[in-house]
Amino acid sequence: MKELELKYGCNPNQKPAKVFVDSGSLPFEVLNGRPGYINLLDALNGWQLVRELKEATNLPAAASFKHVSPAGAAVAEPLDDVLKKIYFAEDVELSAQATAYVRARGADRMSSYGDFAIISDECDESTANYLKREVSDGIIAPAYTSKALEVLKSKRGGNYLVLKVNPDFEPPAIETKKIFGVTFEQQRNAIKISDDCLTDIPTQNKTFTPEARRDLLTALITLKYTQSNSVCYALGGQAIGIGAGQQSRVHCTRLAGNKADYWFLRQCPKVLDLPFKKGVKRPDRDNAIDVYLGGETFDDTWQNLFNVKPEPLTADDKQAWLKNLRGVSLASDAFFPFGDNIERAHQSGVDFIAQTGGSIRDDNVIETCDKYGIAMAFTHIRLFHH
């Protein structure tokens, strides 16, 4: 198929809408549902991300996309009992591919609500069963088992969007798009993210653990397909905080750092022990936890959610728990212009950094890293994505 009519463009009033190729066939087929414009932007950006992440780590990879940026991305590293609990995966058997998606979605469950799921390998029944329980708009994968496809086709009243991508498709070297009647053309960003990016280490600490290298590659590849400016915190083979589309670099660092803090605070005993009533749905739990972490009070609404009113999570509680967050990796899609980014990163347990380098204030950034014993690499690669 060379052309596919879409429901509408970015908004319902933007009709007609379609996607097409000038030659050959579209690199995907629709197995169920009807795609929209943003669905396909998420699917095709996300597919490139997970394909590259699997190639870089040799592990199944997954991403959870919303509005053309990842809410999370991850590889299939095992989950401990605490992560299984905060990801609502305690009662399910998880394959390696399912584990990667559970991690990707769990990075920021608020943002992943209604996501597009992207996985690097065949979608198995384990992945499909987990997805069936969650609010999601669609999935793209290179293949599906018959059982997985049966499960997914029953989701959303039979309208869940299921796309099968051609894993062998390679796009042309030159890409174009039109804005306001003007055609933009550029060479596709085919640069490879690998360990070679982590060889120029100007800081006093020059040691990257194997886990840090995995996490930095995860973060860098995630940023390659995140709307710029962007910063990504990673730990345990997954993004734990992504700051996308901010005009200021330090605002990216703060936004992503706050998300990383929330991810870690969800593992705090007070949060794990919140006395939810039986039958409270997962999205309602996610919303309530977000309110709780933000220090807001529930007033009388707590009676709809909890068996007893929760004790507040105080600022001192948060500070004490966040002191346990260490070994975090941080990547940036361009250089850090000031040491304030490093100061904020340190607050969220960052010990390893990969960034472009080349700022006139590199010395200040290096000095701030040395102040905290952070190992930092200059990648000499800018990863802007628009």
Catalytic residue numbers read 66-67, 229, 386
C-alpha torsion angle, residues 14, 16, 19, 20 (rounded to 10): -150
Say which residues have a Cβ less than 8 Å from residue 82's Cβ, sequence separation at least 6: 267, 272
Contact 138, 118 (CB under 8 A): no
Answer whether 234's CB lies under 8 Å from 219's CB: yes
Cα separation, 288 vs 320, whole angstroms = 22
Measure the CA–CA gap between 386 and 382, rounded to whole angstroms.
13
Q: How far apart are CA 235 and CA 245, in angstroms?
A: 22
Strand bridging mode 375-378 / 28-32: unpaired
> What is the residue-wise DSSP string for 209-270?
-HHHHHHHHHHHHHHHTSPSSEEEEEETTEEEEEEES-SSHHHHHHHHHHHHHHHHHTTSHH
The 10 Å Cβ neighbour count of residue 287 is 15
Alpha-helical runs (H) found in the chain: 37-57, 81-86, 96-106, 109-112, 125-133, 146-153, 210-224, 249-265, 269-272, 282-293, 302-305, 315-322, 340-347, 362-372
354: which strand partners? Answer: 331, 377
Token pair in block for residue 34: 């009807």
**What gap in Å lies between CA 142 and CA 47, rounded to an integer?**
9
Distance CA 175, CA 270 (A): 50
